[in-house]
């Protein structure tokens, strides 16, 4: 399970990005993944573990979000 740091998240816009600790591409995160994880939102510089999923549109996004220790 990759982990990273929240670069940006705007609940009103419904999306944000997580910077991967391994230096890979940033992960897109949609508000539905945040809500599915039971999180109230994501804050800049918050540490998160996540899985990656390729959607029907071919874009990769973060799912199964968990606070990282």
Instruction: Give residue-wise pLDDT tens across range 10-60.
Output: 999 999 999 999 988 899 999 999 999 999 999 999 999 999 999 888 888
pLDDT at 69 over 80: no
Domain boundaries 3-67, corresponding CATH code: 2.40.50.140
Distance from CA of residue 20 to its chain's centroid? 10
Hey, what long-range contacts does 29-37 have (CB within 8 A, 24 or more apart)?
29/61, 29/62, 29/65, 30/61, 33/61, 33/62, 33/63, 33/64, 33/65, 34/9, 34/65, 36/63, 36/65, 37/64, 37/65, 37/66
Report domain extents, the chain: 3-67
pLDDT for position 9: 96
Give the pLDDT band (50/70/90) at residue 68: confident
Are residues 50 and 65 in contact, defined by beta-carbon separation less than 8 angstroms? yes
């Amino acid at each position: 399970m990759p982990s990273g740091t929240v670069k940006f998240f705007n609940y009103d816009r419904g999306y944000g990005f997580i910077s991967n600790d391994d230096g890979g591409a940033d992960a897109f995160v949609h508000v539905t993944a945040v809500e599915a994880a039971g999180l109230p939102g994501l804050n800049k510089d918050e540490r998160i573990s996540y899985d990656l999923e390729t959607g029907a549109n071919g874009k990769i996004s973060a799912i199964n979000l968990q606070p990282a220790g």
